[in-house]
Structures are given as C-alpha cells and as structure tokens.
Structure 1
Amino acid sequence: MKINDVIRTRRQALGLTQEALAQRLGVSAPAVNKWEKGLNYPDITLLPVLARTLGVDLNTLLSFQEDLSDQEIGAFLNTLAQDKLRDFPNNDRLAYSVAGMLEGLDVLFASGDTRPPLQETAFQLYQRCAGSADPQIREASACRMAARCIHQGDTEEAERWLTHLSPSHPQRGELTASLRRKQGRQEEAWTLLEQELFSRAHSLETLLLHLLDLSLEEGDQEQAQVFCQAAENTAAALGLSDYAALSAPLQLAMVQKDGPKALTLLDRLLHSLSHPWVPALYRHLPRKNETEETLPLLLRPLLDQLQQDPDYAFLRAQPGYDAVISPYRALVTGPQ
C-alpha cells in the first residue's frame, strides 16, 4: 500500500475528516487532500506525528514493509527536497546538498527501465549554485558541471566550466586531464596526471616527515621509526628521487646521533644530488637539467649546514667524514 493509500484508509478507519486530520497536524485540509491523491507528500518533519496520529509506525506509513518502486522513492524524496527549496529559495548550500542527493538517487536508479528525471534537476541546481556568492559552493558546483560536460562529451562547455575553478582546486588537474583525453590530446593528459601524482606524492612524503618530527618531539622512538619506514617506502613506491627516499632515515639517524649510519646515508644522499634522477613514473614531466652550474646551488647550503651546525658536530667527528664530504665540496668550490 502506498503512502497516500495508508493516509486515506487509516484516516477513514479512525473516523477523521481531512479537515480534522489537518487540524491535528497543523496543516491545511487541501494539503491532506493532495497527500491522499498522491499529488504531494507530507513534509519529512511531519512523518513521526502523522504516523502517531494514524496509529501506525513509520515503516507502515512509508510502506517499507513492501517494495517501493524506484519511481516512488525518487518522487517521494524529490518532493520533500523541492518543498524545502521552496521554503528557503535563496539558500545555495541547501540547493547544493539537494543536488548531491538527487545525483545519488540517479545512480541508485541507474539499472531501472524507468527513472525519475533526477539528474537533470540536480544539474539545474548545480548551474544555479555556480553563481553563488559563497566561493566554496560556487567552485564545487562548477566542478560538478565540468565533470558532467566531460562525461557527455561536451568539450567546449567543459572547457568553459573549468575556467571557473581556481588553479589550486584539488580536482582541476584530473578534470583537465580527462577533458584532454576526450579531445584526443593524450600527451597533455599524461603530463597533467603525472603532475598530479608527483605533487600528491611529495605532499604525502612531507606529511610523513612532519609526523616523524612530532614523534621525535614526544620522545617516541618506536613510532618515529614507523613513520620513517613509511616515508621511505612511500618515496620508493611513488617513484620519488633517492634524495626524497633518504631524507627520513637520515633525519632519524641524525636525531639518534647514529654516526656511522648517518654518514652512510649522507653519502648516498649527496650522491643522489650529483647524479641525474631517472623517474620511472614521470616520463612525461619536463626534466631539470642539473648542469655543473646549477649543482653547486643545490649542494652549497647543505654542505654549509653540515660544516657549521653544532648539532652535526658528532657527524663531523666520524672517521671518514672528510672523505665523504671532500668530493662534493670540490664541486662547490672548484679545484684548489
């Protein structure tokens, strides 16, 4: 039994007129009449009191004991959403949330032969919200519009919507890459996606280094070792340079004043700076040409810190320190 039939039959069984039921609920008699004809649905906030008034539970009122069709579920939720939008016509955040709900329902009904026109309503709301004064709502809506246009193959409209996203928007790179693929511009798509991976890999590596620092500040050596290993594994898995992979273990060895280990790691790190990085995962990214002119700019600050920082005195006292540092110092100062 549908909700309109439940309302009508229970009202009649209780000997109530439409006016009497409306009075108990604080609504108009025409509203009850529309419910019973299936032209409209009660506001979601009325459902508990309506169920109590009719002497049924919510499952019975909403016919959850029976299977509802996709059309019934969609129409019911869509009506509730539209009622709220009429109550708050200028609330862009509500409109954006309703659009997301309707999109979700559209996915739910994707396998049905007949589907309520939810997606079109959702994207009408997104288009409206793209003009919102709230920058968060505005960009989020433009993002959804761009994704839809890309999916539909409307590359010109997709390009226009992407211009509404700030350069720092987290999905701009991926969406632009998807658009370039639709346009057959594969090389650009490769470059964009590799840039996204490279950026996120470095962000993740940086986050793990911060967690390593925090563990060391709290004196938790065991947890510091966990984050150190995670940072090293992440750098290796995501194809970052040896310099990135060695940063965490060198940092930990320095704090622990493990001279032999720190010296070995330092040697490997300096070696990585002076030799070209060959990225397996980033073949389409432009490669930096580390020439003899640019290499000293990378090495000099590091070598100066190693030589002057009091915290590294234990390292400078290690046998073999000068043998490790001298070749790189020569690259910076030139032949003597």
Structure 2
Amino acid sequence: MKVLISGASVAGPALAYWLHRHGFEVTVVERAPALRDSGYAVDFRGAAFDVLDGMGILEEVRGHETMMRGTDLVDDEGHKIGELPAEAFAGDLEVPKRELTAILHRLTAGRVRYVFGDSISRIAQDDSGARVEFERGEPGVFDLVVGADGVYSTVRRLAFGPHERFVRHLGMSGVGFTTANHLALDHRGVLQSAQGRAVYLFSAADADRMTVSMSFGTDSAELDLMERDRQEEIVRERMAGAGWVVPRLVEDMASASDFLFSSACQVEADRWSQGRVVLVGDAGYCAAPTSGMGTWQALIGAHTLARHLAASAGDHAAAFLAYEEELRPYVVENQKHGREAVAMFGG
C-alpha cells in the first residue's frame, strides 16, 4: 500500500517509521526546502516513552535533555516573587525540537522517500485511490494521504474544508526567537506575567543564547498568516510600556533569523478522516502549545494510526475509525489542559 504523508516535523516522520516497519511504501512531502532547524523545546510524558523506546531512539533522545532546573516568577521590574519546578514546563523529559526532528529524519531517511520544497495542491479520490497534484512535482496516485502538516494543514483544507471551520483561537498570540543570553540564565527560565501579556525566557543547550517568548491577548488567529513586518508591528504595539528587559528583547526581535509568530489555537474536527485522507498530530487535533502535550500527542497518534492500519488487512476505513475511537478521549483531555493553561501566558 502506497501512502503519502504531508509534513516532516514530528508526526509525519514518526508515522513514516511505523508504516514502513509494517510494510507500507511511504513518501513524505514537506513544503520547507530542508529539514526545519527551529522550534521550542518539546517534552515527553507517559506513553510517549514507550513509542520512543519502540523506535529504538529513547536513549538518543535522552542524550539531548535540556536539564532545566526550574523557572523564576518575576514582577514588572524583574524581581523574583516565586518559582515553578522544572516539571511545570519540561515534563518528564525535555529536548530541543530541532534535535528530535533531526533524529526522526535520520531514522527514516533511508527507509522512506522524502521530497522537500514541495506541497500538495489538489487531492481527487475515488474507489481506486487518491490522485494527488503538487505545486512543483509530477502528480501521483496513492492509496492513502495523511495530513501531518500542522494547524494550518494543507491536506485538511483540501479534503475537509477551510481553516476557519476547524481552528479555534484561544485568545492569545505571541512571538518566539533566540537572542544573546542577556540574563546569564543557566538551565533556568524566567516568567513575567501581568496586564494581559507574558514574557518567558530560558537558556539550556547553548549557554550563550536564550529563547524568548513574548505573548499577549488577541482576538484572531489570522495574525499567524500575516507578513513578518506586520507581526513585528503588532508585537511592538502590545509590548509597549513594558519594563524590565522587554524593550531590549523587542529590539532583538527585528534581527532574529528564527523569528516565529504563532497563536494559541486548537484544532477541533468532528472526524479525522475523509475517504482515503486522514489527519494526525496538530493537523487533526492540536491541543495548543500551552498544553505542553503537542509532541507526545503527535507521537502517540502516529503510532496508534499505524498500528490500526497494519491490523486492518487493507480496510483503511475501519482502521481510521478505530484510530479515532481509541485516541479521541485522550485528545479531549489534552485540549482541556491547553485551554486552562492559556491564562498563565497572558491570554
């Protein structure tokens, strides 16, 4: 059975690994020209460890642990007023996302076909298969198409409908990037939250650099789709008047090569499959970054989907149904946590 997966972050390569292991022929297409080398740290809990162990990469992933020691809570002037334990953000194991992405790609690159710098433009399906057209490459016919391409999934838009039907904005947006470690943070974070906005800073893997997250209340997730100049303008407007190190961070933002603007969103879909097309990870059931569960939810989702496809004897409809019935209660609980956590970050 030939499977096309859109997205080469976490859910896509993880699913590709398990499908190949079960004898499927897999192609992964990724819009970015190369493997993405950005993103916040990601953490793991519970059943995600079983998935990593089953892939044979648990110890390698552990080797990149950030070793965070907690987060200081500070007031408007940067004075410490409290503390959160490392587990509040880091889970049972935390690693830089770029390291996890690199490990998953290395694990699968010799087993499945990767196509970078391209994206799906059309999907037409019938009883014989799904004919897929691409923005650059030649069209192809696949038995199944998987959307593992994030909150603003191209596959979901083409097969299920426009983004506004599925993307639920949680009232918060923000910017992330790395800059010089002005505060000399050492495997530690700092969180300032007041007046509908929050600043979270931490340094772990590289002592000379720190990761910056500045978030604030917003009315729409459409900001995510705007040009960078407009996004920077919004950040400056929303962070105006803030003290402590915020003015310097706003200045650093303009020259950041890893600038990322995103909103706290959840994806809510009545069903995760449509014919021969199925969604996995954030494309189908994003729990919001504030949940701290997106990565391990993607890993568990990929493993669950692959397991049911392998056991279905070619009946993809039955496999999709079993996948959703097993995973949806878990997703519902994670999305609840995501909504509850927004208040901490300024939403």
Scaled to the shorter chain, the TM-score interval is under 0.3
TM-score w.r.t. length of structure 1:
0.21
Bigger proportion of residues as helix: 1
Structure (1 or 2) with the larger CA radius of gyration: 1
Q: Which structure has the higher relative contact order (CA within 8 Å, separation 6+)? A: 2
